[in-house]
Amino acid sequence: MTREDILSQLLTRSRSRTRALAQRLSPPPGPASPSLAPRKAPAAWPPPGPPPQQTVSSETESSRRVQQVRVHLTQHRHLDASVSPQQGDVMEAELPSGTEKTPRRRNATSRRKSATRGQQATTPSRKKESKTLREPALGVLAEVDNENSPMLPANATPRSSKRKSAQLVSSRIRKQLNLLESRQDLDSDREDEDEFVPSKKELQSSSEEEEEEEEEAGLDSDDEVVTKKSRHAAAGSRTPRSKQKSRSSTRTPRKTPNKKIAPSTPRTPRHATPSIPSRSLPARQPANVLEEARTRLHVSSVPESLPCREQEFQDIYSFVESKIIDGTGGCMYISGVPGTGKTATVHEVMRCLQHAADVDEIPPFHFIEINGMKMTDPHQAYVQILQKLTGQKATADHAAALLEKRFSNPAPRKESTVLLVDELDLLWTRKQNVMYNLFDWPTRRHARLVVLTIANTMDLPERIMINRVASRLGLTRMSFQPYSFKQLQQIITSRLNKVKAFEEDALQLVSRKVAALSGDARRCLDICRRATEICEHSSADTSATGLVGMSHVMEALNEMFSSAYITAIKCASLQEQLFLRAVIAEFRRLGLEEATFQQVFVQHQALCRVEGLQPVSVSEGLAVCQRLGACRLLLLEPSRLGVLQRVRLNVSQDDVLYALKAD
Amino acid sequence: MHVMFVFQSRGGGGGRVEEMGIMRQCGTLLSGGADGVADEWVVGAIRPGKMLAEKYCFFQSPSIMSKRKGKDAHLPVGECITLVQQILRERLCHQQLPDKPDGIEAQHKHLLELLKRTAVHGESNSVLIVGPRGAGKTMLLKCVLRDLLEEKEAQKNLLQVHLNGLLQTDDRIALKEITRQLHLENVVGDKVFGSFAENLAFLLEALKKGDRSSSRPVLFVLDEFDLFAHHKNQTLLYNLFDVSQSAQAPIAVVGVTCRLDVLELLEKRVKSRFSHRQIHLLSNLTFTEYLERVQTQLCLPDDFPDSKFAQDWNDSIMTLCEDKSVEEVLQRHFNSSKDFRSMHMLLMLCLSRVSVAKPAIKPADLLEASRLCFADAKANMLHGLSILELCLIIAMKHLNDVYEGEPFNLQMVHNEFKKFLQRKSNSMYNFDQPVIMKAFEHLQQLELIRPADGSSAKTQREYQLMRLMLDHSQIMEALQKYPQCPTDVKQWAMSAFG
């Protein structure tokens, strides 16, 4: 007697039992009935001559069993994937399907509705749920990290403990199989909880060849059948419903990126966790006031609050909040020069909204962030959005299609999504389809998508966007003005937070200087940080107040803002200085701002004679010229032109003359 | 004798990396097979990457040189010479770092403090080291790293990533290299697989996961920093600077460049994320300091085994530096450039003339070395031309005089040459057109002449407009030294009109 025979025997038995159960219970409501059809018609199964365990899954009414089989299939695929590493990376996406337990409550409630509703309505909701479920599970995965196989048994436990009938069936199967093989589980420690490990092994051994085909071709429909089945079964028995629901729902998104989802147990390099090794010795803590101030002033330190952007904060907050509460979508364009707190403000808004969502003031929502600079190609935006939304990986085209579907199909209990697109201008493509999609999705009725875009230039929509894109972006715009000196001062003060390290005047000087130049808060903080360093060094010899004073700030400002050209000319060698003078002399003679090396060289020789120096050879002159060109004091044509290359000054003539005179 | 390598780039397509490959090969060639040409000096005239030729100078390796001296090994003086050669060569070829940086203590302290804070406190930083070529930027960085790694706390923690703009010519390659050097988990053996997008996402994720206090600080050294600014969108720079300005894994980005205008190359949002710390290495060296430096570079250390020889050697160096003619030569070098590398090159040439028979550097050696250093490459190339080719060059010179630098073609040059033959030639005969053509083409191959900008390649070769790439002084200099140059040709060259 083969194993297949035993299995099918077992299954027919259980099928008849469940059928009886189904008859006893009230018949499924109208809309659900079409879902029964494919189950009963074996033609719905794509591969001809399905392997035994497929018959099992197709025929059995116990959806729990189906689930189990599915899990094993997945496991089997894990093994497969070790051979083909590029499939491994989707594992995170797949794995959590079994692990999540927390959101059961919501599933149960939603199920009550979906079970009675039409299939069209249920599909998106399932999808939706799966997405919400995944995110916490990913976190779990990251911790468990390596061991894949123990996780599956672990998640099998609660299921089996709850469902009495299914437990019965499974234990019976197990008994039979044990009889047949008379072997123990490999892991004795999980034997008591893991009921289906033997069958898993069997499935793998019995049907490896067919399974591969089946996976390629038939998983879509397989999935559908499975989910339908589970729904039906759940309608029959109330208790285990929530569980099944969640499980089946997590599977659904697999429909499309089928081949990708083939995770692996042995880690291929593809599956590496991105991390920097941790340090062997802990980082030292700041020891004195100045060091403490430096830590606080570092741009990376997250301040408790964002001063000086209250109005912008309020505007963005109310915009996003209203969209989330209404369940609608919208776009907002935020512009401002670098370092004016655009991204920081949006993050702050999101933190606050998340907090509000946590305390149930507003409906829950997703927050996703992409950055045009952090992707290699504008189309990668789709991939990143999809991955952050659902955890799946797909190619750009595929991801675009999936997102399109997701945002255009209605779904009940769909959460709002807030998408932050930083450095928007880099998403520009010739056809602008990435931008078009980003702004078009929020306008869909069922998308519930709020898009916040950030870029530097105020007129970006007018400048680079074609009309249909700009029109979709709408007119909700906000621009962040550069900080004024008062605001900069307030920012530093609030960051320092009562750490007394600066003199008042020094702070004012920095903020006035930066406000006059750019209004870039990063610059301001960097200067302050540098000033503390200078102060620390100088305080070693002069036991001054220990505070950062005007002189330190002045030095830091000079370091950062003064151009090095004049110093460079002063420090240049004699011949280099002569050459610069020759260049100016030649420019004056020609009345142009450009001359060939040959012309300048004649002047150079003349100057050498005037200065009483030995005349230089052409090679030497060229070398001098090249050195000046390498520093970019001169702008040169490519050096292969030799004496014919044209020479231009990269500094103003006055600067050169000033630098040379000061000697 | 001196050997000259002339690399010509046809079509001007060759990238910098390619040139560097040539330089490398050239270097191995020299160090590997130079035994036969032991005493000759090798000057690489490598075009168009002049900068590279300066930066990547290759010398015969010390081992080979000492082998050459090996025949005198039984003599104590021979051994001493071998040792001297070895010590000084190590010094001059930048294989050995100085014990402490001279004249740049402030910069050294600044950089050391900065990197120490990253290594010890986990503070992210970014800094640029800017200075002309040969000013000691890399030396400064290496010294700082050496001092930094002496500290155990830093040594255990610090991860280093070294990139060079000439090698990592785009972000894709740079990312793979970073991943490889960090030994992230997606490295298999020594290779990094996966697409550009995946690698970027992986690296960013890795850096994002880290935090100030728990992950190891990473030091990114970007040599030839300006070249990274030419990468598409400056993605790598943006991300590195962004990490350095946000609460992620602590990193220090150190850029090394010789361009003073490097900040202008950065895009505004990249620039905003850069901390604007610049360490300038602009040497305010005076001639006395320069002289001292020459002396210290040539002096033997106190721990030299044979103290008497060391004493003698050091005394001879002292007298050498006091010599008037030597001072003059050095002054000329100093006037030309304050670059240490060119000084080392000069001293290296002197050093190679030291032998058992002449166990000291004499002023004459320095003069000869300086002559070699200042030799005009183009004028030297003229020495190798045939009389006919030289005559063509002279004809071109006259054409340049007459037409004030307007371009010429082969026919014009040939006519000029024929005029000379008719008028006063005794020793020269006319050549057939094909012979003239061949000579002309040879000149073009040597890049002594090049097609004028506007002329299209379609025109017949005889009528293609060309420009002379020589200065008159070079032609005259070459003629003076040309062996057995006919007098009438010389006179023709010197006469005002052809």
Give Cα A192 distance to the centre of its chain.
40
Pick from B236, B118, B235: nearest CA to B177:
B236
Q: Which residues on chain A are in Cβ contact (under 8 Å) with B339?
A: 627
Residues 6 or more apart from A102 whose CB is under 8 A from it? A136
What are the pLDDT digits (tens) for B321-367? 899 999 999 999 999 988 888 888 899 999 988 888 888 888 999 99
Report the alpha-carbon distance of residue B244 to residue B103 in Å, rounded: 30
Number of domains making up chain B: 4
Q: Of chain A residues 383-422, which have a CB less than 8 A from chain B?
A: 383-384
User: Do B239 and B303 sit in the same domain of this protein?
Assistant: no
The CATH number linked to B240 is 3.40.50.300
Q: Of chain A residues 550-589, which have a CB less than 8 A from chain B?
A: 559-560, 563-565, 567-568, 570-576
pLDDT exceeds cutoff 60 at B232: yes
- Torsion of the alpha carbons at B468, B472, B474 and B475, rounded to the nearest 10: 80
Give Cα B413 distance to the centre of its chain.
37
Q: Which residues on chain A are in Cβ contact (under 8 Å) with B217?
A: 279
H/E run at residue B255: strand B251-257
The residue-averaged pLDDT of B391-402 equals: 92
What are the pLDDT digits (tens) for B274-283? 999 999 998 7
Q: Which residue has the tokens 């060259």?
A: B493
Pick from B187, B261, B271: CB nearest A269: B187
Token pair of B318, please?
């002292």
Q: What are phi and psi of B178, to 5 degrees?
A: -60, -50
Task: Categorize the per-residue pLDDT at B17 as very low, low, confident or very high, splitting at 50, 70 and 90.
Answer: very low
Question: Given this model, what pLDDT does residue A541 score?
Answer: 57
What are the pLDDT digits (tens) for B175-215? 999 999 988 887 887 788 888 988 899 899 989 888 888 88
DSSP class of residue B408 equals B
Q: Does B97 fall in a domain?
A: no
Report the alpha-carbon distance of residue A259 to residue B264 in Å, rounded: 48
User: Do B293 and B305 sit in the same domain of this protein?
Assistant: yes
- A514, A472 contact by CB (below 8 A): no
Question: Given this model, what pLDDT does residue A293 score?
Answer: 86
Report the alpha-carbon distance of residue B8 to residue B27 in Å, rounded: 17
C-beta atoms of B193 and A530 within 8 A: no
* DSSP helix/strand/coil, B211: coil
User: Do B432 and B479 sit in the same domain of this protein?
Assistant: yes
What are the pLDDT digits (tens) for A124-153? 444 444 444 444 444 344 444 444 444 444
Q: Does B94 fall in a domain?
A: no
Lowest-confidence pick of A629-638, B91-100, B317-326, B385-394 = B91-100
User: Do B435 and B349 sit in the same domain of this protein?
Assistant: no
C-alpha distance from A3 to closest chain B C-alpha (Å):
41
H/E run at residue A387: helix A380-390
Torsion sign (Cα): A39, A41, A44, A46? positive
Last residue of a domain, one of B45, B71, B97: B71
User: Do B231 and B115 sit in the same domain of this protein?
Assistant: yes
- A32, A111 contact by CB (below 8 A): no
The CATH number linked to B408 is 1.10.10.10
Question: In Å, what is the CA distance from B246 to each residue of A41, A299, B123, B229, B274?
Answer: 59, 6, 10, 21, 12
- Spell A478-509 as b/e; 16+ CB within 10 A means b: bebebbebebbbbbbebbbeebebbbeebbbb
In chain A, how long is the greatest CA-to-CA distance?
A: 117
The residue-averaged pLDDT of B370-399 equals: 89
DSSP class of residue A377 equals S
Question: Given this model, what pLDDT does residue A73 score?
Answer: 47
User: Do B254 and B344 sit in the same domain of this protein?
Assistant: no
C-beta atoms of B48 and A301 within 8 A: no
Question: How many Cβ atoms are within 10 Å of A107's Cβ, its own excluded?
Answer: 24
Q: What are phi and psi of A563, to 5 degrees?
A: -85, 150
Taking each helix axis from N to C terminus, what angle separates A310-326 and A342-358, rounded to the nearest 10 degrees?
50
Query: Looking at the complex, does the CB of residue A356 fall below 8 Å from at least one CB of chain B?
Result: no
Query: Looking at the complex, does the CB of residue B335 fall below 8 Å from at least one CB of chain A?
Result: yes
Q: Does B144 fall in a domain?
A: yes
Give Cα A378 distance to the centre of its chain.
14
Last residue of a domain, one of B280, B295, B312: B280
What are the pLDDT digits (tens) for B148-183? 999 888 888 889 999 999 999 999 999 999 999 988
**Residues facing A241 on adjacent strands:** none
B470: alpha, beta or left, given left = phi > 0 and alpha = psi -120 to 50? beta
Question: How many Cβ atoms are within 10 Å of B288's Cβ, its own excluded?
Answer: 8
Q: Does B148 fall in a domain?
A: yes
Token pair of B444, please?
């073009």
User: Do B126 and B275 sit in the same domain of this protein?
Assistant: yes
C-alpha distance from B62 to closest chain A C-alpha (Å):
28
**Residues facing A635 on adjacent strands:** A648
Task: Categorize the per-residue pLDDT at B429 as very low, low, confident or very high, splitting at 50, 70 and 90.
Answer: confident
Q: Does B483 fall in a domain?
A: yes
User: Do B407 and B369 sit in the same domain of this protein?
Assistant: no
Pick from B206, B337, B447: CB nearest A275: B206
Query: Looking at the complex, does the CB of residue B282 fall below 8 Å from at least one CB of chain A?
Result: yes
Question: In Å, what is the CA distance from A293 to each residue of A498, A531, A554, B296?
Answer: 10, 11, 18, 44
Question: In Å, what is the CA distance from B216 to each residue of A277, A394, A480, B334?
Answer: 6, 32, 36, 45
User: Do B26 and B136 sit in the same domain of this protein?
Assistant: no
Report the alpha-carbon distance of residue B372 to residue B36 in Å, rounded: 20
What are the pLDDT digits (tens) for B109-120? 999 999 998 888
Q: Does B326 fall in a domain?
A: yes
Pick from B466, B468, B465: nearest CA to B448:
B468
Report the alpha-carbon distance of residue A482 to residue A339 in Å, rounded: 8
Taking CA–CA distances from A276, the nearest residue in chain B reads B206
- A258, A95 contact by CB (below 8 A): no
User: Do B393 and B341 sit in the same domain of this protein?
Assistant: no
Pick from B329, B376, B404, B338: nearest CA to B474:
B376
User: Do B162 and B237 sit in the same domain of this protein?
Assistant: yes
Token pair of B94, please?
């930048």
Domain that holds residue B177: 105-280
Radius of gyration over alpha carbons of chain B, in Å? 28
Last residue of a domain, one of B71, B95, B119: B71
Q: Which amino acid is at A275?
A: S
Report the alpha-carbon distance of residue A158 to residue A101 in Å, rounded: 9
DSSP class of residue A548 equals B
Report the alpha-carbon distance of residue B101 to residue B1 in Å, rounded: 36
Q: Does B100 fall in a domain?
A: no
C-beta atoms of B272 and A640 within 8 A: no
pLDDT exceeds cutoff 90 at B273: yes
Report the alpha-carbon distance of residue A148 to residue A267 in Å, rounded: 10
Report the alpha-carbon distance of residue A499 to residue B288 in Å, rounded: 49
Tell whether ipTM is more than 0.85.
no
| The most confident of B244-258, B443-457, B472-486, by mean pLDDT | B244-258
**Residues facing B126 on adjacent strands:** B253
Question: Given this model, what pLDDT does residue B214 score?
Answer: 83
Q: For chain A, which ranges sit under pLDDT 50? A: 1, 21-22, 26-63, 65-66, 68-69, 71, 73-161, 183-269
Report the alpha-carbon distance of residue A177 to residue A199 in Å, rounded: 7
Q: Which residues on chain A are in Cβ contact (under 8 Å) with B336?
A: 573-575, 616, 620, 623-624
Query: Looking at the complex, does the CB of residue B180 fall below 8 Å from at least one CB of chain A?
Result: no
Question: Given this model, what pLDDT does residue A271 score?
Answer: 60
C-beta atoms of A526 and B275 within 8 A: yes
Question: Given this model, what pLDDT does residue A604 score?
Answer: 95
Q: Does B345 fall in a domain?
A: yes
Give A653: exposed, middle or buried? Use CB within 10 Å, 0-12, 13-18, 19+.
middle
User: Do B465 and B384 sit in the same domain of this protein?
Assistant: yes
Query: Looking at the complex, does the CB of residue A282 fall below 8 Å from at least one CB of chain B?
Result: yes
Mean pLDDT, chain B, whole residue set: 81
Give Cα B327 distance to the centre of its chain.
25
Beta-strand relationship, A646-649 and A634-636: antiparallel
The DSSP result for B1-45, as a single string, is -EEEEEE--STT---HHHHHHHHHHHHHHHHHH-GGGTT-EEEEE
Q: Of chain B residues 394-423, which have a CB less than 8 A from chain A?
A: 405
The residue-averaged pLDDT of B58-76 equals: 43
Report the alpha-carbon distance of residue B300 to residue B295 in Å, rounded: 10
Question: In Å, what is the CA distance from B467 to each residue of B442, B448, B470?
Answer: 14, 9, 9
Give Cα A214 distance to the centre of its chain.
33
